[in-house]
Chain A
Amino acid sequence: MTTTLKPSPQGDLSADLRGAQLPSWAPKAIAALAGVVAVAGWFTGLGPVRGIILAWLIAACLPLWSVMIEGKRKATDRLVTLLVVSAFGLAVIPLVSILASVIGKGAQALSAEFFTYSMRNVVGEGGGIYHALVGTLLITSAAAVISVPIGLFTAIYLIEYGEDGRLASSIRFLVDVMTGIPSIVAGLFAYALFVIFFGEGVRMGIGGSVALSVLMIPVVVRSCEEMLKLVPNELREASYALGVPKWRTISKVVLPTALAGIVTGITLAIARVIGETAPLLIIAGMTDSVNFNLSEGRMATLPVFTYSSLMQPGVPPEPSIERAWGAALVLLIIVMVLNLLARLVSHYFSPKGER
């Protein structure tokens, strides 16, 4: 666990100046011992939790050993190194646990029927997530159609027109604040807005898109702004020097240069909102049937489907809970694929001169 400690560069030369030292193999040896104990504990019936705790206690012997030989300062240093490495280990545990439970419980639900059937007239086993997939795709694409132009043009305003003016800096600040709007408040906003036009109890897909846009626009603005900032000023000036108008400079020189970064940012923004549950629960509602019409009636989405199948499983509960984990797995795969795509785009298509 402590293999990241670098061996002291001074070596034996300064040993008498610096007092006694632990041998340079000590951290590695302790880490190896802890690892062996953890694995052994796992297989001898102690279970993973006790095995890890035991291994950590063994690793904690390194600072103790150090305080006896090297003194307090070095021992503190080794203790902090141990704590920092443990913090990372601690952060990985939930990730592994989440992936294990979602894949372990969701994989068995996946089948051809699961993707091609809705839940209409399904009681007990069978049925699928077709209606939720349709809803998620429609609502998220509509949200992207609203957010991308607004977000991109705002970023263009901030970088190309407003620069450091008062309007631009206050917009920058408000976009930052907007990033912090809780998702449920965005849902309530969409409801409060639509209720004025359509009356009480309104539920429609486009409302979900509006709510998601409130969450998505600030993300798009921030990432596009960062990308436009990276475009070298020389390119703009070269274009102006050729007599090209500003708007053609932006659309033909600045945007193409930043395209890879912009696409990455938009993909990440979509990945962020596609998993949002709370606003859709408020304004898009839940239904068992396929609904292709964004402006008419309730619309099922993957996150809300997961939520409601888990919280109101009906009788018998098992098939519904299995479908919930299946939907969670599909959602997780969609989000991970979008993230991967974003990384690939930025890796392969960004301008090479910057590196």
Chain B
Amino acid sequence: MSSNTELEPAAKAPPQRPGDRVFRGLSLGAAIAILATLAGVAIFLTAEGIPGITASPDEVKSGESFLPYVTPLVFGTLWAAFLALLIAAPVAIGVALFISHYAPAKLAQPIGYVIDLLAAVPSVVYGAWGMVTLAGAVRPLYEWLEANLGFIPLFAGPASATGRTILTAALVLAVMILPIMTAICREIFLQTPRLHEEAALALGATRWEMTRLAVFPYARSGIVSAAMLALGRALGETMAVAMVLSASGVVTLNLISSTNPSTIAANIALSFAEASGKTVNVLIATGLVLFVITFVVNFAARAIVNRRKEFDGAN
């Protein structure tokens, strides 16, 4: 107690200068502005969305009440994002492994840049590419799938004549989420303790066995959170789906036919310009649903990452 009182004068805060107060106020204000923005996004979307949720069917363009309107869209959003993740995840893990453990050290960094270039391409360019180049290129593949694997409901067809199906949209989404997933996986693979790897190799493991024994167990939670962050991206991606997909608001698992479920984001982009009155509120309400879905996914992903940080101390 006495030592505390003796230390008091030394521990006293330095004289508060006006400049200090202003600077502290500014930075605290900026930090709080971010909280306010995030709260604002939720509040304004809710305020403008609620009239849409409660709107009666004859007030809106679609002629449906909110729940039947949004359900196929939610299905399409989740389905397209899931397909994209299914395609992108193995490739992303492969590329990340290539950069972190397989490529010659000199090449690893330039290769990382090349993959990062994919992240820099604007979404509208992806949309244009998917709509024109990719949709044309995959058409023969879809015809082949229908002819040879048509007994599986996924490929029941009839194959779309334009190639602009949910599978094409998912392929474009997969390319778009590839860089972020690769970047996170690469960082995590590089953090694998060197001693674990060398211990595995010293016991006679091949490079793949070393990867399986030392790298993957260490990186598992990181891979999961990378996948979820990528999923969050895919859920909210708008332009690629809006441009690639010719949608017709149905719920179907058929990947290659010309009737496809739309996604929330694409539906907003396509209908917003012509919407008026309560229809706008309905669209904003669907945006709120999308916001909640992506928020939950990102929240879970970040929680996993943060939990992992706590583990790190024990390692």
Chain A residues with a Cβ under 8 A of chain B: 4, 73-74, 76-77, 80-81, 83-88, 90-92, 94-95, 97-98, 101-102, 105, 149-154, 156-158, 160-162, 167-168, 171, 173-186, 188-189, 191-193, 195-196, 200-201, 214, 217-218, 221, 245-248, 250-251, 271-272, 274-278, 281-282, 285-286, 303-304, 306-307, 310-311, 324-325, 328, 331-332, 335-336, 339, 343
Contacts of A181 in B (CB 8 A): 41, 236, 291, 294
Please count the residue pairs between chain A and chain B whose beta carbons lie under 8 angstroms apart in the complex.
274
Q: Which of B121-163 contact A (CB under 8 A)?
A: 121-129, 131-134
Q: Mark B5-49, 1 if CB is under 8 A from A, else 0.
A: 000000000100101101110111111011101101100110110
Shortest B178–chain A CB gap in Å is 6
In the bound complex, how far is the Cα of B123 from the Cα of A332, in angstroms? 10
Partner of A189, one of B40, B206, B243, B306: B40
Whether A246 lies near B20 (C-beta < 8 A) is yes
In the bound complex, how far is the Cα of B101 from the Cα of A85, in angstroms? 11
Chain B residues with a Cβ under 8 A of chain A: 14, 17, 19-20, 22-24, 26-31, 33-35, 37-38, 40-41, 44-45, 47-48, 90-91, 93-95, 97-99, 102-104, 111, 113-118, 120-129, 131-134, 175, 178, 182, 206-209, 211, 229, 232-233, 235-239, 242-243, 265, 268-269, 272-273, 276-277, 280, 283-284, 287, 290-291, 294-295, 297-299, 302, 306
In the bound complex, how far is the Cα of B31 from the Cα of A151, in angstroms? 8
Whether B30 lies near A150 (C-beta < 8 A) is yes
Give 6 closest A-B pairs by Cβ, nearest first. Answer: A182-B236, A275-B122, A87-B94, A153-B30, A180-B298, A247-B23
Contacts of A193 in B (CB 8 A): 40, 44
Contacts of B37 in A (CB 8 A): 178, 214, 217
Whether B31 lies near A184 (C-beta < 8 A) is no
Whether B268 lies near A282 (C-beta < 8 A) is yes
Interface centre among B33, B98, B113, B116 (most CB of A within 10 A): B98
Whether B27 lies near A188 (C-beta < 8 A) is no
Contacts of A152 in B (CB 8 A): 30
Known: A73-B209, A247-B23; 8 extra A-B contacts, CB below 8 A, are A76-B208, A150-B30, A154-B27, A191-B284, A217-B34, A245-B17, A271-B120, A331-B125
Say whether, besides A188-B45, A278-B238, A201 and B125 are in contact (CB < 8 Å): no
Interface pairs (8), CB distance under 8 Å: A91-B178, A91-B182, A102-B129, A182-B290, A185-B290, A192-B44, A201-B276, A281-B272
Contacts of A303 in B (CB 8 A): 122-124, 239
In the bound complex, how far is the Cα of B123 from the Cα of A273, in angstroms? 10
Whether A332 lies near B122 (C-beta < 8 A) is yes
* Residue of B with least CB distance to A105: B132
In the bound complex, how far is the Cα of B161 from the Cα of A98, in angstroms? 22
Contacts of B239 in A (CB 8 A): 277-278, 303, 307
Contacts of A247 in B (CB 8 A): 17, 19-20, 22-24
Whether A185 lies near B302 (C-beta < 8 A) is no
Contacts of B290 in A (CB 8 A): 182, 184-185
Shortest B177–chain A CB gap in Å is 12
Contacts of A98 in B (CB 8 A): 121, 125-126, 129, 133
Contacts of A306 in B (CB 8 A): 124-125, 128
Interface centre among A84, A245, A332, A335 (most CB of B within 10 A): A84
Partner of A195, one of B48, B120, B133, B294: B48
Say whether, besides A176-B302, A180-B236, A217-B37, A324 and B122 are in contact (CB < 8 Å): no
Partner of B306, one of A173, A175, A180: A173
Partner of A331, one of B41, B122, B206, B273: B122
Say whether, besides A245-B20, A307-B124, A81 and B30 are in contact (CB < 8 Å): no
Contacts of A186 in B (CB 8 A): 41
Whether B280 lies near A200 (C-beta < 8 A) is yes
Say whether, besides A306-B124, A331-B125, A185 and B236 are in contact (CB < 8 Å): yes
* Residue of A with least CB distance to B125: A328
Whether B19 lies near A248 (C-beta < 8 A) is yes
Whether A87 lies near B98 (C-beta < 8 A) is yes
Say whether, besides A88-B111, A161-B24, A221-B34, A278 and B120 are in contact (CB < 8 Å): no
Whether A188 lies near B302 (C-beta < 8 A) is no
Partner of B208, one of A80, A156, A180, A328: A80
Interface centre among A150, A167, A189, A325 (most CB of B within 10 A): A189
Whether B34 lies near A174 (C-beta < 8 A) is yes
* Residue of B with least CB distance to A176: B302
Contacts of B291 in A (CB 8 A): 181-182, 185
Whether B114 lies near A95 (C-beta < 8 A) is yes
Shortest A214–chain B CB gap in Å is 6
* Residue of B with least CB distance to A102: B125
Shortest B252–chain A CB gap in Å is 24
Whether B123 lies near A188 (C-beta < 8 A) is no
Whether B118 lies near A188 (C-beta < 8 A) is no
Shortest A277–chain B CB gap in Å is 4
In the bound complex, how far is the Cα of B127 from the Cα of A332, in angstroms? 13
Whether B287 lies near A188 (C-beta < 8 A) is yes
Whether A246 lies near B44 (C-beta < 8 A) is no
Contacts of A83 in B (CB 8 A): 94
Whether A311 lies near B238 (C-beta < 8 A) is no
Whether B298 lies near A94 (C-beta < 8 A) is no
